[in-house]
Structure 1
Amino acid sequence: MKLTKSDLIPYQEYQKLHDKFLKEVIEEKKVLRVNISDKMSGLFETKLTVFYQIQEMIRAEQISDPTYIEEMLNVYNELLPDKNELSMTLFIEIPVQEDLRAFNKTIVGIENHVQLLFDNIVITSYEPDDEEKEEENYTQSVHYLHFPFTEEQKDQFLNANQVTLKVNHPNYQVEKELPDELIQKLQEQLSKN
């Protein structure tokens, strides 16, 4: 499910297609974004959302160097789920900087406390390479989470009618039932990987 150089479009050609892709991504993100609380939101990542981020970077900076493009692919592909996974970017969104810093001090380790709940199953998130970004008493405002499924859990998720996203940190708990359209999109994505 990872992107390769052959998936990308040279920036001159992409420039002509920009509006088309922008519309597609806006529509996709309407379904994939979930407001978890007044402090957090999440965006489930797909090949299209990551493709768009890379193409926009290439377009904005007019990048054509294949080595640099390969480095970008390596970085951005981390946002995409691996086999039997879903992935989500978690945004901590508090407009006042002092309040954001204070809140982020209370939720260190949040990347390991976000869960998908369905049919009495709990899938807990992890963040690849989170030890490099996490400070001892402060967390980042953006986390790239992965939700790993076993084959049995995957089969049950593909038939689930109700899915809840839960933040279950010792200092912050909130639950959000996912809308049907998002559940269907996630089931479709998980069935392909």
Structure 2
Amino acid sequence: MALTVADITTDHRAYAEHRPDLRRQMIPVRAERRVRVGDLVVAEFENEQTLRYQVQEMVYTERLTASADVAHEIEAYSRLLPDSHVLTATIFIELAVLETVRDELSRLAGLQHSVSLEIGGQRSAGVEIPGLDEDPDVPSETVSVHMVRFTLSDELRDAFRDPAVPAELVIDHPAYGDGTPLVAATRRALIADLALRS
């Protein structure tokens, strides 16, 4: 990611003054990248703008000031940067009833491995991006937030970049199956992501 420690302010008072304006600017950006799949799952596709904002918010809310801590946040979020053959999303499982969260997450175990992009009838399975401190060889527990990467072949990338080819974000889990077409502003934003790097 082009983002560096120097791009992130650790002057928390100064950031607080501009924070409401930045939040308002991000609302439409995130809205066009937000896809609801059924009643419980929302995916937010990431790009450099959304990731820069998230790093700055983490630095602000955690009151980080040390360069090493800021660099750690940049490293964590930079793994979500899309490129010419990769789209990434943060997957949220939205559970409103606190008393049943544990049971619902148990019922939805493995959902983070059941997300895919279907493009013109072919699928690219989402692969979970583990946390920096997580062992990628150890299966992750299903929690309410997961980061997922979709890697596209040349054929799938080119098909996705053609708005005439149908594309859908799909969840195919024994306890939760649904799909949502990727159209209009969302599709245009993701096509732009795939054009960023070769």
CA contact (8 A) 1:168 1:174 kept: yes
Report the equivalent of 1:159.
162
Report the equivalent of 2:133.
none
- Structure 2 Cα separation of the partners of residues 152 and 57 of structure 1: 37
- Structure 1 Cα separation of the partners of residues 193 and 185 of structure 2: 12
Note if 1:70 corresponds to 2:71: yes
Note if 1:171 corresponds to 2:175: yes
Report the equivalent of 1:134.
140
User: For each residue in 1:37-86, what CA deviation from the matched residue of structure 2 results, as whole angstroms up to 9, or x when unmatched?
Assistant: 11111111111111111112223344331111111111222332355111
- The runs of 5 or more residues in structure 2 that have no matched partner are 131-135
Deviating more after overlay: 33-42 vs 11-20: 11-20
- The runs of 5 or more residues in structure 1 that have no matched partner are none
Query: One-letter code of the match for 1:134?
Result: S
Report the equivalent of 1:36.
37
Give TM-score scaled by structure 1 length. 0.86
- Structure 1 Cα separation of the partners of residues 48 and 138 of structure 2: 25
Note if 1:11 corresponds to 2:5: no
CA 1:145–1:59: 2 relative to 1, 3 Å: same
**1:192 Cα deviation from its structure 2 partner:** 0.7
Instruction: State the identity %.
Output: 27
CA 1:18–1:132: 2 relative to 1, 3 Å: farther
Give TM-score scaled by structure 2 length. 0.84
CA contact (8 A) 1:37 1:174 kept: yes
Which is helix-richer, 1 or 2?
A: 1
CA contact (8 A) 1:113 1:124 kept: yes
User: After the TM superposition, which parts of structure 1 deviate over 6 Å for at least 4 consecutive aligned residues?
Assistant: none
The one of 147, 152, 166 equivalent to 1:149 is 152
CA 1:119–1:134: 2 relative to 1, 3 Å: same
